[in-house]
Structure 1
Amino acid sequence: MELTKNAKTVLEKRYLRKSGDRLTETPEDLLWRVANNIAQVDRNYYPHTEDKINEVAEDFYDLMDKNYFLPNSPTLMNAGSELQQLSACFVLPVEDSMESIFESIKNSALIHKSGGGTGFSFTRIRPKNDVVLSTGGIASGPISFLKVFNSATEAVKQGGTRRGANMGVLRVDHPDILEFISCKEEQTEITNFNISVALTENFMKALENGENFKLVNPKDKKTVKEIDPKEIFNKIVEMAWKNGEPGIIFLDKINEENPTPELGEIESTNPCGEQPLLPYESCNLGSVNLSVMVDEKKNKIDYKTLKECVHKAVHFLDNVIDANEYPLDKIREVTLSNRKIGLGIMGWADMLYKLNIPYNSDKALETAKEIMKFIDDESKEKSRGLAEERGAFPNFEYSIYKESGEPPIRNATTTTIAPTGSISIIAGTSGGIEPNFALAFSRNILDKETLIEVNPIFEGVAKKEGFYSKELMEKISKEGSLKGNDEIPDNIKDVFVVSHDIESSWHIKMQAAFQEYTDNAVSKTVNLPSDATKNDIADIYKLAYELNCKGVTVYRDKSRDEQVLQKGDSEDKKKQKQKEKAAEQSSKPYIIPRKRPDVTIGKTEKISTGCGNLYVTVNEDDKGLCEVFASMGKSGGCAASQSEATARLISMALRSGLDVKTIIKELRAIRCPNPTWDSSGGMVLSCPDAIGIVLDKCIREKESGEKVDKSDNGIQKLDRLMGACPECGGHVRNESGCITCFYCGYSKC
């Protein structure tokens, strides 16, 4: 397997086994570990000799080593390990009771610990302020519990390899829908969830016809109120324009293609939205690398190799179902009953480059339908072959296949198109069906050297056509796109388009083309330029509905504080801004803190931290807050000295006139290895966070004139990505509501 530098970094950081900081596994070892482990399942079905099992393992190894196919990350990470949890996608039910809610929180923690992501529908929870008959109390509503799930996720780390990720879904007819739509308006809130509004046919028809729409209490199915659907739709558009959340899913469209409708309705999806699942279902995903399925001499798709790849990949994924160690017995039971797999693709944009087809063209749409129909047909042919050998999935009798008289099939679904964040980096190709974000990037190495990374297909064409130069590649890295570049022939510019060159309608048309021949759903983000309007987003949603997509996510460039993958001269602009700021500061006198007053008035509060009890004193004089003292309750030690130093710097900042809210913002969400719960009920992430909590209480009491028992929980504010990957400083890109580092594979949904 030919590995790029980025692929090696991702493998070493997240996939290869280690002993301490020392790698004990090579990429070749990893592939053999996975191939051997998954091949052993064949023993359950055939009286295979050892040679036959080895032959299957070699097939699986070659499939990955030739860069034809890769399974989802948990399979690469955990196959052949003690954990052996191989699935990426789970959905858990959330019923309208405390027992169900906290059972789901517990179960999701077990899933996150094992490396999976979870989806939930909060639709069954009664609305805010509804009366709880059993207690006489007032219901807090689904959004309050969404925040509890978010906090629980933050407390669970996935073994240092994958972070907890969730999808929260609410039906559009829930009475709390407007609150749900705006629940992530503050970008530091609910950071461990993607959210999606489940739009229904009734809603879309009411919107189209200008009719009022009923909001229904899920507890008793009674209408709570009628509302203009435009109010809901416009709110969705407004929030998506602001920061890309919420996404939307078309719930009735999803259930029209539910393969087992007798078993219940699908209510939610996995965190990236491409895998609708019944409660307690899981799904194992994998992706074919289309960029290597091209016969470049004949300039056409290599369907012979693709067919062999699809058949082996279906065999592989069906084996994964049996090889899996499920985090819950109920998940094992439901998963084995339906045996869903999701074979998808990556490298689509790179394949189009090789075929000399523009992404934004009718030819590309025709090719998309042709190739996905081929993959879907061949995956089902192989699944039916497996059913003859191993038996159909147990719930086949309750499926659409049985109803329509089709022959037995091994898997209730066979195709899904995922975003392929990390595995596409390993494969060295474009992600999912997304266009490339840029053709060249500049990367600073230890602030001493700038490395230009160029799409290898474009680089090869540039050299072949004779217009390659280092200077030109540097220029392209600053622009990201070829648009407007007079040094490059028009026919090359037409083919090598990037995301922001493509009108939004082409993004949706491409998604719809693949969706036509995909069992589950298609992960797709419509990346928009920063000057895109709310009307642009509204048009995207309406077109997605008209073209029978199952959902859609949009992201407007620079709409979040954590700017996703940047192209252009971002580094140059940063340096220029730094120079301008330095020049501005040099023209001003230094700020000298005012003298500490002789008399101050204040109070001391004890707060629990992971290092012990911290005593925080906040004092003020006639001009406002002026000083902070922090003592660990025990003298000496690093923690005590660091707290004292932090308090002294805060005091200087206060007496220099810095807004205390700005100070609090910087202190909150700093995390140490030992967060803890304070007696007031909130989580304390570190000693600086504790000082921020006490300061926050002080100013809130001053503003309200009332006693404040506790501060807002700080854990939603963790891991804000301020323009770059928090681990390596590299570029991050937005894919289906998640951000993935282009260099080290860090990802967060």
Structure 2
Amino acid sequence: MTETVGGSAKKTAARAAAKPAALKVQRVYTTEGRHPYDEVTWERRDVVMTNWRDGSVNFEQRGVEFPEFWSVNATNIVTSKYFRGAVGSEKREQSLRQLIDRVVKTYVGAGKEHGYFASEQDAEIFEHELTYMLLHQVFSFNSPVWFNVGTSSPQQVSACFILAVDDTMESILNWYREEGLIFKGGSGAGLNLSRIRSSKELLSSGGTASGPVSFMRGADASAGTIKSGGATRRAAKMVVLDVDHPDVEEFIETKAKEEHKIRALRDAGFDMDLGGADIVSVQYQNANNSVRVSDEFMHAYENGTDFGLRARQTGEVIERVDAKSLFHKLAQAAWECADPGIQYDDTINDWHTCPESGRITASNPCSEYMHLDNSSCNLASLNLMKFLGDDGKFDAVTFAKAVELIITAMDISICFADFPTEPIADTTRKFRQLGIGYANLGALLMATGHAYDSEGGRALAATITSLMTGVSYRRSAELAGIVGPYEGYKRNATAHQRVMRKHAAANDLIRTYHANDSSVHKVATEAWQQALEIGAKNGWRNAQASVLAPTGTIGLMMDCDTTGIEPDLALVKFKKLVGGGSMQIVNQTVPRALKALGYQEEQIEAIVEYIGEHGHVVDAPGLRREHYEVFDCAMGERSIAPMGHVRMMAATQPFLSGAISKTVNMPESATVEDVEEIYYQGWKLGLKALAIYRDNCKVGQPLSAGKSAKATDEKKSSETVVEYRPVRKRLPKKRPSQTVSFTVGGAEGYLHAGSYPDNGLGEIFVKLGKQGSTLAGVMDAFSMSISVGLQYGIPLEFYVSKFQNLRFEPAGMTDDPDVRIATSVLDYLFRRLALDYLPYDKRAQLGIFTADERSAQVAGEYGAPTSSEVDIEGLRGSVEAAPAQTETAAPKQVGSSTELLELHLGKAADAPLCMTCGTKMRPAGSCYLCEGCGSTSGCS
């Protein structure tokens, strides 16, 4: 498709004579006369991905070619997700070279066709530079590029879409259709329903309108049906409603009420587990909901005054509500079920480059892309750790050059891209919205000795973000001088220039603390000055340049330790090994951070060893307390406070065209007032959007079921103190028992278990090692402690959740067909006890099954979901643990690093299971990411 920019032939000729020469491309990474492929060592690998349930093969492709420095995980994900062609056919891609060439050559060809390059040599340099950066994981395009570009499929390059719906039945039905088309392609969309009349307004026929919430039911059902059609990514969606809509209270409480229904049905015995037969009876589970609040409303909240809800067609106030009460209901609903999030309408539109073409009313499903209705955005993200030198300095100059090349490629893609609907195609071609961003910020901050929640950390993040966007707009202005500004620029020139000045002014206000952020800030300031100067002359090629996306699958493709703007998840992870298996390692960023903080090699080794054993830095030998904060993570012994996440978002928001995909995680003990304060501070600090997730606020978290109810009861009766004293229930003199002989890693032993007459476990004795040995004595004392605990009423499932997956010798193969591999004797013992004494539903929550049950699950019994049946949005917040490596017949297959680590820390997981491979996902922005196979629950 060829884009036309300009008017008459006379005007086109005049502009062509006046405009500067086309783009001259300078080498950054490559060497003249040497192709990037020739500078790396390649190797052949076998990619075999198995199902955690029974070890059956999900995907297999042998002999694929990758550079030796690519991890096993990145190799698996790229091969299974992005290689095109039927597996086993000659057309199937089998080398990373083929994948990169397919994409890069398409981009370069379009760039030459549309007049971007000054010469063939410049085009070749551009090709080599893009190839090098992709090959060396410096950046990645978003997933649709890898899926579609250079194939026979439609050349879809965008991951983010915004739709529009009006107050007519034709428009509402078209909304269903357009969403379905986008979902069918594996992408997501968002829209604002505020134009639809409320249920408190009349129709022209005299009847009462249905209201937007009623129409959400149909869209929710449609999304739930379409997304189970076999796509590798779920159909994410966002639904927005303005705070002055008369149905806003109903909208706020929609998902919270459904959560109450889920609880009631579960308690009544219905199957409300993930993928259960009865979960489809609840509604609105396929969308993220957000309320658009205005400054007028927020001021009314501050002042404790009322606020008017307005008719959709006339704008007249038809009802007045107390702003504080409504805002509290918003926080209450979010506290109960994590929805709705909040979007700050006036802030969003104050940074809008194209207000003459329409207001920004909605966002994509992850809330980072915000622009005109019926538009789309393609994303790309840089790996920040690739710009950190061994000396601890961030290479701002090289970073800026990389941004220039990437933003150029992203703009070229709009010239040949296809779109799901004509209105989206028209708007995107006229405004050319781009979404460059980054990943690995959390790792970068730790590696440079910065705490995530610190002034220094925020300063470095702000300067890097400012540099990225400043360089992007400078290159956009340069491109406007070569191939013309975006078609809608002339109408919006004044507003666009105003927003550019706002970005530059915000850059001038950054306070720097260290050499790194000072040097980056200097380059960023120069970039903004040049962007303003060149843009004033040429205009800009793009109405939008930058966002901070979740970087889910592509973050794994780049071997990033952290996604998007997120901090590190935890200090200990599980690394896949070539040939199968995995090992627990301390994040490689930790020793680098310790070195940056001035520790010696011997000290670093001791601290790393301590972290590997304990999972945290508290009381690590030789580590100074003032350095603890550098190693704070999203979870674990020392977790970052919720406001720490908000402050980091606020530090970077002024330097982004769009917004930030991030969910602020809050502890289970957080109150409704805490949520309310977070949402209020998001507005005060200038964010565009915010969402929270309170630990265990979803029903589908069986490992901690009952905790939320307890917290609610405690809140309701906070003034009442009740002291509970446990009572020991002793076993009778004569009781039933059984003895199991076992072998773990060659070590033999016996487990004796005694029961109450009503069949409840009451004691255990373990014989391991020779009588009188230290090991035998320790096991005797351990058995006595567990037995007394059982008799005092501590549930067996509690012990199982704590002791399964503990790792120490002896470990390895067992002689038990139900537990083939054990990570320790205790891991085996408590899995065996669970199998013998716990009912199926409790074992399912702990991820413990017999060999027969695992086989039956694969066959579809016990309500186990298949990949085409799982409702991924309904999985949000689940803690149903996937069976660990120790239970499968294939040692190489493990749960995700998040799953194993969370069990290691004894913390309830809030992530869903992956619909593709069944392992535990982990948070990535406001979405979830599977580290096992690369599937995401949203944008990437």
2:549 match: 418
2:570 maps to which of 428, 435, 438 = 438
1:147 maps to which of 217, 223, 227 = 217
SS in 2 for 1:226: strand
Query: CA separation in 2, counterparts of 1:561 and 1:482?
Result: 32
RMSD of aligned C-alpha atoms?
A: 3.6
Query: CA separation in 2, counterparts of 1:65 and 1:671?
Result: 35
2:46 match: none
Query: CA separation in 1, counterparts of 2:471 and 2:406?
Result: 11
The structure-2 alpha-carbon separation of the partners of 1:249 and 1:48, relative to structure 1 and needing over 3 Å to count, comes to same
SS in 2 for 1:423: helix
Note if 1:74 corresponds to 2:144. yes
1:38 match: 107
The structure-2 alpha-carbon separation of the partners of 1:560 and 1:3, relative to structure 1 and needing over 3 Å to count, comes to farther
Query: Does structure 1 retain, via aligned residues, the 8 Å contact 2:567–2:633?
Result: yes
The structure-2 alpha-carbon separation of the partners of 1:295 and 1:471, relative to structure 1 and needing over 3 Å to count, comes to closer
2:360 match: 266
1:58 maps to which of 121, 128, 131 = 128
Note if 1:288 corresponds to 2:288. no
2:679 match: 541
Query: CA separation in 2, counterparts of 1:93 and 1:544?
Result: 26
Note if 1:382 corresponds to 2:518. no
1:493 match: 628
Deviation string, structure 1 residues 169-224 (Cα, Å, up to 9, x no partner)? 01111122122122222356423211111111111011000001112221332323
Deviation string, structure 1 residues 442-482 (Cα, Å, up to 9, x no partner)? 5899xx97631432222556797335679966x74686543
Range with greater deviation from structure 2 (263-272 or 187-196): 187-196
Query: CA separation in 2, counterparts of 1:191 and 1:78?
Result: 29
2:182 maps to which of 111, 123, 132 = 111
Deviation string, structure 1 residues 112-149 (Cα, Å, up to 9, x no partner)? 22332101111111122543324x54433212212211
2:321 match: 227
Aligned positions of 1:323-402 closer than 5 A: 323-399=416-492, 400=494
SS in 2 for 1:383: helix
Note if 1:531 corresponds to 2:669. yes
Deviation string, structure 1 residues 66-96 (Cα, Å, up to 9, x no partner)? 2222111111221112221110111111111
1:17 match: 84
Query: CA separation in 1, counterparts of 2:415 and 2:876?
Result: 36
Query: Does structure 1 retain, via aligned residues, the 8 Å contact 2:287–2:873?
Result: no
* Structure whose alpha-carbon radius of gyration is higher: 2
Note if 1:244 corresponds to 2:366. no
Amino acid at match of 1:40: G
Range with greater deviation from structure 2 (450-459 or 160-169): 450-459
1:482 match: 617
1:455 match: 587
Query: Does structure 2 retain, via aligned residues, the 8 Å contact 1:353–1:457?
Result: yes
Query: CA separation in 1, counterparts of 2:876 and 2:298?
Result: 37
Q: CA deviation at 1:527?
A: 1.8
Count of equivalent residues? 633
Amino acid at match of 2:545: T
Query: Does structure 2 retain, via aligned residues, the 8 Å contact 1:438–1:498?
Result: yes
Query: Does structure 1 retain, via aligned residues, the 8 Å contact 2:159–2:188?
Result: yes
Deviation string, structure 1 residues 241-287 (Cα, Å, up to 9, x no partner)? 22322111101111111111111111100010011121111111111
Aligned-pair identity (%): 30
The structure-2 alpha-carbon separation of the partners of 1:21 and 1:459, relative to structure 1 and needing over 3 Å to count, comes to farther
Amino acid at match of 2:477: R
Note if 1:182 corresponds to 2:253. yes
Amino acid at match of 1:499: A
Query: CA separation in 2, counterparts of 1:172 and 1:589?
Result: 47
The structure-2 alpha-carbon separation of the partners of 1:30 and 1:564, relative to structure 1 and needing over 3 Å to count, comes to farther
SS in 1 for 2:165: coil
Query: Does structure 1 retain, via aligned residues, the 8 Å contact 2:368–2:547?
Result: yes
Query: CA separation in 1, counterparts of 2:838 and 2:209?
Result: 55
SS in 1 for 2:318: strand
Structure 2 unaligned segments of length 5 or more: list them.
1-66, 260-278, 499-534, 705-797, 806-825, 841-855, 883-912
Q: CA deviation at 1:670?
A: 5.5
Aligned positions of 1:284-683 closer than 5 A: 284-297=378-391, 299-399=392-492, 400=494, 406-407=536-537, 408-429=539-560, 430-442=562-574, 451-459=583-591, 465-466=601-602, 476=611, 480-486=615-621, 488-490=623-625, 492-500=627-635, 501-562=639-700, 572=802
1:689 match: none
Q: CA deviation at 1:360?
A: 1.5
Deviation string, structure 1 residues 17-63 (Cα, Å, up to 9, x no partner)? 24146763333322222111111121233377655533322221122
The structure-2 alpha-carbon separation of the partners of 1:589 and 1:11, relative to structure 1 and needing over 3 Å to count, comes to closer
SS in 2 for 1:63: helix
SS in 1 for 2:191: strand
1:728 match: 917
Query: CA separation in 2, counterparts of 1:232 and 1:574?
Result: 45
SS in 2 for 1:295: coil
Query: Does structure 2 retain, via aligned residues, the 8 Å contact 1:555–1:734?
Result: no
Q: CA deviation at 1:313?
A: 1.0
Q: CA deviation at 1:489?
A: 4.5
The structure-2 alpha-carbon separation of the partners of 1:471 and 1:44, relative to structure 1 and needing over 3 Å to count, comes to same
Amino acid at match of 1:204: M
Q: CA deviation at 1:546?
A: 0.9
Q: CA deviation at 1:311?
A: 0.5
Deviation string, structure 1 residues 575-605 (Cα, Å, up to 9, x no partner)? 7999789869978999xxxxxxxxxxxxxxx
Note if 1:3 corresponds to 2:3. no
Q: CA deviation at 1:548?
A: 0.6
Query: Does structure 1 retain, via aligned residues, the 8 Å contact 2:449–2:594?
Result: no
The structure-2 alpha-carbon separation of the partners of 1:450 and 1:37, relative to structure 1 and needing over 3 Å to count, comes to closer
The structure-2 alpha-carbon separation of the partners of 1:141 and 1:584, relative to structure 1 and needing over 3 Å to count, comes to same
1:161 match: 232
Q: CA deviation at 1:108?
A: 1.6
Query: CA separation in 1, counterparts of 2:703 and 2:94?
Result: 31
Note if 1:210 corresponds to 2:304. yes
Query: CA separation in 1, counterparts of 2:567 and 2:839?
Result: 50
Structure 1 unaligned segments of length 5 or more: list them.
591-641, 650-665, 674-684, 687-713
Q: CA deviation at 1:438?
A: 0.7
Q: CA deviation at 1:412?
A: 0.9
Range with greater deviation from structure 2 (515-524 or 488-497): 488-497
Range with greater deviation from structure 2 (461-470 or 379-388): 461-470
Query: CA separation in 2, counterparts of 1:671 and 1:427?
Result: 29
